[in-house]
Amino acid sequence: MITEYHRPSTLESALELLKRQDKVILPLAGGTLLNRKVDSSMVVMDIQDLPLKDIHLDGTELRLGAAVTLQQLIDHPVVPDTLKQACQVETSFNLRQMSTIGGCIAGAGGRSTLLALLLAYNSRIEIQPGDEVIAIGEMLPVRGDYLRGKLITAVIMDTTCRVTCETVEKTPADQPIAGVTLAQWPSGRTRAYVYGFGPHPKPALDGPSAAGLEPAVKNAFAGSDDLHASSAYREALAGILVNRCMNKMERQ
Amino acid sequence: MDLKIRINDITLRVSTSAGETLQDVLRKNGYFGAKHGCEDGQCGACAILMDGRPVNSCLVLAAQAEGHHIRTIEGIGSHPEKGWKKTEGLSAVQRAFVETGAIQCGYCTPAQVLAATALLEKNVKPDEEQVRDALSGVLCRCTGYLKPVQAVLRAAKYLRGEEVEPVQPASEIQAEADVTVVLDEPSPGGYPETLTQVGVLPKIWTTAQTKTFSTVGKPEKKVDAIKLVQGKPAFAGDIELRGMLFAKVLHSPVAHARIKSIDASAARALPGVAAVLTWQDIPRVVYSTAGQSDPIPGPLDTFSLDNKVRFVGDRVAFVAADTLEIAEQAVKLIQVEYEVLPSILNSSLAMADGAIVLHDEPEYVKFDGSNPAKNLAAEIRIDIGDVEKGFAEADLIIEGDYVVPKVQQAHIEPHITVSYWDEDDRLVLRTSTQVPFHARRVLAPVLGLPVKRIRVIKPRVGGGFGGKQEILIEDVAAHLTIATGHPVYYEYTREEEFTASRSRHPMKIHMKTGVKKDGTITANEMYALSDTGAYGCHALTVTGNTGHKSMALYVGDGKYRQEPNIRFYADVVYTNTPPAGAYRGYGVPQGYWPVERHMEKIARTLGMDSIAFRLKNAIRSGELHPFSKSWSEGREPRPEIIHTVGLEDCVRQGKAVIGWDAKYGNPTWRQVEGHPHLRRGIGIATVMQGTAIPYLDMGGASIKMNDDGSFNLLIGATDLGTGSDTVLAQMAAEVLGVPVEDMIVYSSDTDFTPFDKGAYASSTTYISGTAAVQAAQKVAERIRARAADMLNSKKTGLVKAQDIKLAESMAIAPDGRRISLKDIAYNALHHENQEQIMAVASYVSPVSPPPFAAQFAEVLVDIQTGAVRVERLVMAVDSGVIINPVTAAGQIEGGMTQALGYAVTEEMTYTASGESQQKDLIDYHLFRADEMPELETLFIETFEPSHPFGAKAVAEIPLDGVAPAVGNAILDACDAELKEIPATPERVWKSIQAK
């Protein structure tokens, strides 16, 4: 349960609040994840008054304020279509009005297309205090501990790469039970993530080319048994999803 | 913390805690339009507008809302008639929702209206996709979203100032000639994007009799629509009482255990806790939670609290406290020592030698066939004809095994009860129930009260689908009110709905069918192993209906038609899983998955057209219901002839609309250009249901005439969103010759309304409707008599009462003289030979005339991944005469959507320790507005002679055919033989691999 609520109006006062030693302060953006009823007590810092809602394209770098909502991303002209589509399938219309890109990074699970896409893009996040910049993929395995006492202020995406994703769902609007996101840079560098299970998307490949992509994806699906699908099924999909991603990328 | 929140342009000052949600603050301050349906924002019933955007108030802290403008449904529109004060009336969106029949239970309606309002304030010309996206945040379990989408498109027209046509039948075809009608045939490339906009009403193949009615058969607006569209506090939870306590239940964390000890001292000592009850604190009374007529046709195997738990989620203790938070805290303080016992989670192991016995309590009361020593809640053995002889006469015996899952009703309004002592110290239960009268009767001994000291009030119900044909939580609130003397509010969370409620019985079914080479069925056999979970509520009757309805459809042909050979055996076993119970369709959807998949298999094996094979063997009008002499829900069976069977017409019309002949088995049509991994497929299932339970289901109605010629219609029938209040009012209005708005309907309250068995078994229009008609006929008789007296007193010519016609709110003599009903009412109440014109009637039927339907499905299968997209569902239904085409079509659309979930996605599963794997609406996905296939309803009317207006049931049959039609369509698409639903990508993929 939430025991304290704070709404700082400046970044400075927010950072001051984060220094508190007696309690762990959790930044509250839209609240679609954080405000679900939880047993442990929490102190929240509402970031709605902080200047974290900008979207701008600087050359090839897209910078998204952490408090930008998914609906704002969909509605903004500079946001790439792939990212818009990921926001669209991420959740329903009502939740998109409050869900933020920062909240997604901090809390989305293993069936999130948006998070998988951000990972494929090799997106980075800016974190305060300390003006830290870190790739989401580096932070993700330890995100709970890593983000404690910190505030994501922005997401930075390199738009020079081509990105695709392919998924399998039970129904069109259900979350994926298996998915692959694939990013490829002009240099040939290729990154792939698999998702549809687990606590967060899982890296499959980050290499100078797409060589070995299919076995890498298959390997990343290993051990993914859950209530939605078996690992054997997901592994069997590896080649299909990879081929579809590659074909789609060729058409881009 | 103190907050100022601007709500509907008024600033509200509230004192709240840091974690209190906006939804809680709104409801505490009387804004009841924000409903509770879940705790994680998935259902959207709590939506409000924040700065013009729809957001889910359960996920917004009240503190977050400060500085924003909040709009709730209470700030949108108002009743158009409020005395001398002029009102703005309903908003365009609200008006359109009412007109199109977009409101069924109305629980999610405020949220849908707000979402639509937000959309249209930004975009007054949205396309259908935009509308569906805007509604995607609000789950609706009743409508299938078709009519809400139509409502928003209609509202947009209003707002654009365009002319909007009244809702009228899109196409009515007189059923005179053998004509196949094709309307709105799809273009070769697919279906028009605007199919939703073609018309609000379904296509109806009418009977000749329908033409003579003035109100029956017309798309009358629902009588409760205006209050529901305004989000009025009409539901059980929309109430505040002084001193009200909040209840929580401690649920078992283990699947099977004896409770060795409970220490509730710490919980009781917690400030704010009013009571903690364990099994040691309340009387031990054995009962069944099933809401059925006396005697309950099943075992009595349940206690309010027991010293044994039988599933993860079973009850251990009840708590009442000043706040929900304190109650939750207290639950955690209760110390329980369990002696964990072995558990049975697999129904196939329940009857094994040496299996642990779930029900070893001495109080257990058996019902026909139950044997707790073998974990058998019910046993069914039905043999019709000579099945073995039939098999011996067959050219071919075809067998198959099929599996259907456990699924949840998932009504958006959870179970909720408010209990309190009234000023006469009678216990009042305001509860969301389908069975108020059964609840009163069943609870009386459990609570130690006589029936007469209990009053059950059923307000509006936010969906039930069978889940509320259960006396599930009323006893919790009642025990706590008895213990504390305080009003008690108890509402399930969404998690409790999954872990501690009821569900559809999962079954493993074996089919064996004998056929001649010419396609004649010589014998048909089904064995069902049905899993009732930890308690046997509805065990016998649900599973009995599995065979009773699905195995009755195919009797065979030739001599077998006269003397069919049918066997239905079932064992209904206990397992340590949450109990199954009633769920719309009541066992019949479980039967049709195997039967219709099996029929398809047989037809293909014989090389016959699968539709011709079905119709060759299907039951026909004038034939005996084959089960009617063998089984009747645990009561004495009596033979019954089926008089109306519109199945062939349903097939013919449905085929025409979906374009069957051009698609079925057509390899060219199956291909999807540019997508070699996709295959189209088309499938059919033919089905029949029942209409009420003969010689058992009884409903009553009371009608009273008012000064102005209007009438109070009091009914015990339970409208849970189906529109039954409206339909009953229509039928009574037809008899009385008044418009529906002159019928003031009230349902239901055990103190004020006549008995009704409740809303189940597709019986309300048929049983309660006949009662309403008969009460109206008695009132009409009194009106005619008085009118004759009044006319004859003027000595301008004598008129006989029986010659007077009631129409247009007048009593009209054959010579044209007329007296208004208002004048007659004044005469009766004030002027001469004063009397209250009123009447009561009740009805029980000797028959259960089945509705029939042909269900069609078109699918797109990804043959590489197994993913299935259902693209179109068409259902042609013979439900007799359709009393209200809008509400009836809504039943079909919503039912098909629930059945679609059963077909492709919904499934309740358990871990090895018996814990539910689906506890929310994320892991248990319900179809949203933005992912629906095209839905189309055709009504093929027959005139059922046993009903005054020729009606049969409509509510349950749409649950029956979707899954097998989808399964057969998958088979058509890619030859994948699916044995088990839901048709998840992995199951379909495996079936494709197994070819």
A4 vs B: CB within 8 A: yes
**Distance, in angstroms, between B29 CA and closest chain A CA?**
21
CA distances from B789 to A119, B838, B933 (A): 86, 18, 59
**pLDDT band at residue A124 using 50, 70 and 90 as cut-offs:** very high
Measured N-to-C along each axis, helices B962-974 and B588-606 cross at an angle, to the nearest 10 degrees, of 30
> Which residues in chain A are closer than 8 Å to B60, comparing Cβ atoms?
31, 35, 98
Does residue B12 sit in helix, strand or coil?
A: strand
**B467 vs B853: CA distance, rounded Å:** 24
Sorted by sequence, the CB contacts under 8 Å of residue B676 that are 6+ apart come out as none
Q: Which among A94, A170, A227 has the least Cβ separation from residue B985?
A: A170
Note whether A172 contacts B869, CB cutoff 8 Å. Answer: yes
B985 vs A: CB within 8 A: yes
Instruction: Please state which CATH class domain A162-251 belongs to.
Output: alpha beta
Note whether A32 contacts B989, CB cutoff 8 Å. Answer: no
- pLDDT number for residue B187: 39
Give the other-Cβ count within 10 Å of B110's Cβ. Answer: 29
Note whether A31 contacts B930, CB cutoff 8 Å. Answer: no
CA atoms within 13 A of residue B747's CA, in its CB half-sphere: 40
Q: Which among A37, A174, A236 has the least Cβ separation from residue B925?
A: A174
Note whether A28 contacts B61, CB cutoff 8 Å. Answer: yes
Query: ipTM surpassing 0.95, yes or no?
Result: yes
Q: Which CATH architecture is the domain A55-158 placed in?
A: 2-Layer Sandwich (3.30)
Q: Which residue of A has its CA nearest to B493?
A: A37
> Which residues in chain B are closer than 8 Å to A166, comparing Cβ atoms?
none
Q: Which of residues 110-129 of B touch A (CB under 8 A)?
A: 115
**Distance, in angstroms, between A152 CA and closest chain B CA?**
19
Sorted by sequence, the CB contacts under 8 Å of residue A137 that are 6+ apart come out as A119, A122, A203
Using the predicted structure, report yes or no on whether residue A115 has a pLDDT greater than 80: yes
> Which residues in chain A are closer than 8 Å to B22, comparing Cβ atoms?
none
A–B interface: beta-carbon pairs under 8 A:
139
Note whether B137 contacts A93, CB cutoff 8 Å. Answer: yes
**Distance, in angstroms, between A32 CA and closest chain B CA?**
6
A211 vs B: CB within 8 A: no
**A131 vs A148: CA distance, rounded Å:** 15
> Which residues in chain A are closer than 8 Å to B42, comparing Cβ atoms?
92
Residue written as tokens 């699906």?
Answer: A221
The DSSP secondary-structure symbol of B59 reads G
Note whether A168 contacts B930, CB cutoff 8 Å. Answer: no
Q: Which residue of A has its CA nearest to B55?
A: A94
Does residue A27 sit in helix, strand or coil?
A: strand
- pLDDT number for residue B196: 61
Give the other-Cβ count within 10 Å of B542's Cβ. Answer: 30
- pLDDT number for residue B166: 86
**B292 vs B288: CA distance, rounded Å:** 9
Which tokens sit at B201?
């009403």
Q: Which among A37, A46, A172 has the least Cβ separation from residue B64?
A: A46
> Which residues in chain A are closer than 8 Å to B917, comparing Cβ atoms?
227
B4 vs A: CB within 8 A: no
CB A195 within 8 A of CB A113: yes
Specify the fold of B245-341+409-499.
Aldehyde Oxidoreductase; domain 3 (3.90.1170)
A225 vs B: CB within 8 A: no
Note whether A175 contacts B64, CB cutoff 8 Å. Answer: no
Q: Is the dihedral of CA B129, B135, B141, B144 positive or negative?
A: negative
> Which residues in chain A are closer than 8 Å to B866, comparing Cβ atoms?
168
**A100 vs B390: CA distance, rounded Å:** 66
Sorted by sequence, the CB contacts under 8 Å of residue B956 that are 6+ apart come out as B584, B585, B586, B588, B689, B761, B762, B895
Q: Do B670-691+848-907+932-995 and B698-844 share a fold?
A: yes
Note whether B19 contacts A2, CB cutoff 8 Å. Answer: yes
Q: Which among B133, B867, B869 has the least Cβ separation from residue A93?
A: B133
A229 vs B: CB within 8 A: yes
Residue written as tokens 């302060």?
Answer: A25
Q: Which of residues 547-606 of B touch A (CB under 8 A)?
A: none
**A61 vs A53: CA distance, rounded Å:** 16
Note whether B19 contacts A5, CB cutoff 8 Å. Answer: yes
Q: Which residue of A has its CA nearest to B864?
A: A240
Q: Which of residues 181-220 of B touch A (CB under 8 A)?
A: none
CA torsion B942→B945→B949→B951, rounded to 10°?
-50
Tell me the residue type at B152: V
**A1 vs A5: CA distance, rounded Å:** 11
- pLDDT number for residue B172: 53
Residue B228 sits at φ, ψ, to 5 deg, of -70, -35
Residue range A146-174: mean pLDDT, rounded: 96
Instruction: Please state which CATH class domain B92-174+201-229 belongs to.
Output: mainly alpha
pTM summary value? 0.96
Note whether B865 contacts A97, CB cutoff 8 Å. Answer: no
**B166 vs B160: CA distance, rounded Å:** 16
Write down the domain spans for chain A.
2-46, 55-158, 162-251
Q: pLDDT by residue (tens digit) across A21-58?
A: 888 899 999 999 888 766 678 899 999 999 999 999 99
**Distance, in angstroms, between A59 CA and closest chain B CA?**
32
Give the other-Cβ count within 10 Å of B199's Cβ. Answer: 17
Per-chain mean pLDDT for chain A: 95
Note whether B115 contacts A93, CB cutoff 8 Å. Answer: yes
Which tokens sit at B9?
């342009």
- pLDDT number for residue B527: 98
Note whether B931 contacts A168, CB cutoff 8 Å. Answer: no
Partners of A84 in the beta sheet?
Answer: none
B325 vs A: CB within 8 A: yes
Q: Which of residues 123-162 of A touch B (CB under 8 A)?
A: none
**B634 vs B259: CA distance, rounded Å:** 34
**B784 vs B846: CA distance, rounded Å:** 30
Q: Which CATH architecture is the domain B2-75 placed in?
A: Roll (3.10)
Specify the fold of B698-844.
Aldehyde Oxidoreductase; domain 4 (3.30.365)
What's the N-to-C CA distance of chain B in angstroms? 65
CA atoms within 13 A of residue B560's CA, in its CB half-sphere: 28
Is CATH 3.30.365.10 what the domain over B670-691+848-907+932-995 is classified as, yes or no? Answer: yes
Largest CA distance in chain A: 55
Note whether B137 contacts A177, CB cutoff 8 Å. Answer: no
Note whether B60 contacts A46, CB cutoff 8 Å. Answer: no
**Which stretches in chain B have pLDDT values below 70?**
168-200
What's the N-to-C CA distance of chain A in angstroms? 47
A237 vs B: CB within 8 A: yes
CA torsion A240→A243→A247→A249, rounded to 10°?
110
Q: Which residue of B has its CA nearest to A173?
A: B931
Going across the sheet that includes A2-6, the strands are A2-6, A42-46, A25-28
Cis peptide before B748 (omega within 30 of 0): yes
- pLDDT number for residue B199: 63
**Distance, in angstroms, between A245 CA and closest chain B CA?**
14
**B730 vs A168: CA distance, rounded Å:** 47
Sorted by sequence, the CB contacts under 8 Å of residue A222 that are 6+ apart come out as A231, A235
Query: Pick from B305, B313, B312, B315: which is nearest to B361 by CA?
Result: B305
Q: Where are the beta strands (DSSP E) in chain A?
A: 2-6, 25-28, 42-46, 55-58, 61-65, 124-128, 132-135, 151-158, 162-168, 178-184, 190-195, 202-207
**B55 vs A30: CA distance, rounded Å:** 10
CA distances from A251 to A114, A239, A247 (A): 22, 18, 6
**B486 vs B482: CA distance, rounded Å:** 8
Q: Which of residues 901-960 of B touch A (CB under 8 A)?
A: 904-905, 909, 917-918, 922-923, 925, 927-928, 930-931
A94 vs B: CB within 8 A: yes
- pLDDT number for residue B169: 56
H or E segment at A12? helix A11-18
Write down the domain spans for chain B.
2-75, 92-174+201-229, 245-341+409-499, 670-691+848-907+932-995, 698-844
Using the predicted structure, report yes or no on whether residue A141 has a pLDDT greater than 90: yes
CB B497 within 8 A of CB B571: no
